[in-house]
Amino acid sequence: DTGVSQDPRHKITKRGQNVTFRCDPISEHNRLYWYRQTLGQGPEFLTYFQNEAQLEKSRLLSDRFSAERPKGSFSTLEIQRTEQGDSAMYLCASSLAPGVGEQYFGPGTRLTVT
């Protein structure tokens, strides 16, 4: 049983560039969550999918952010026109619906915008 994987682990980009992150959940999990964690804080919810449907987006997810989960498998999170305030750890988690059990987290993608 492989865990949740994320790619890349680290990304350094210049302000204004677009970046895309990938998350591969545990294979039988149909719920997938994205969180953002800034330095010294706990993770904050961004969005989640039930299979391929994106069911909720946080107000933290501005128009520059978009997430997809084609075919209910892996998910991508894209940030367009990155800003320095986007620098954070982006965590992906998956769980079995209806979410009775715990969420299993990936190792995260650390984004640095210079």
Q: Give the residues lining the site for other proteins (CB under 8 A).
A: 31, 33, 35, 40-45, 48, 55-56, 89, 91, 93, 95, 98-99, 102-108, 110
Residue 22 CB, shortest distance to other proteins, in Å, is 16
Q: Cis link prior to 98 (omega < 30° from 0)? A: yes
Residues 52, 58, 59: CA angle, nearest 5 degrees: 140
Q: Cis link prior to 8 (omega < 30° from 0)? A: yes
Nearer of residues 9 and 81 to other proteins, judged by Cβ: 9
Whole-angstrom Cα distance, residue 91 to residue 105? 7
For residue 45, give the amino acid letter.
Answer: F
Nearer of residues 74 and 105 to other proteins, judged by Cβ: 105
Residue 18 CB, shortest distance to other proteins, in Å, is 23
Nearer of residues 54 and 80 to other proteins, judged by Cβ: 54
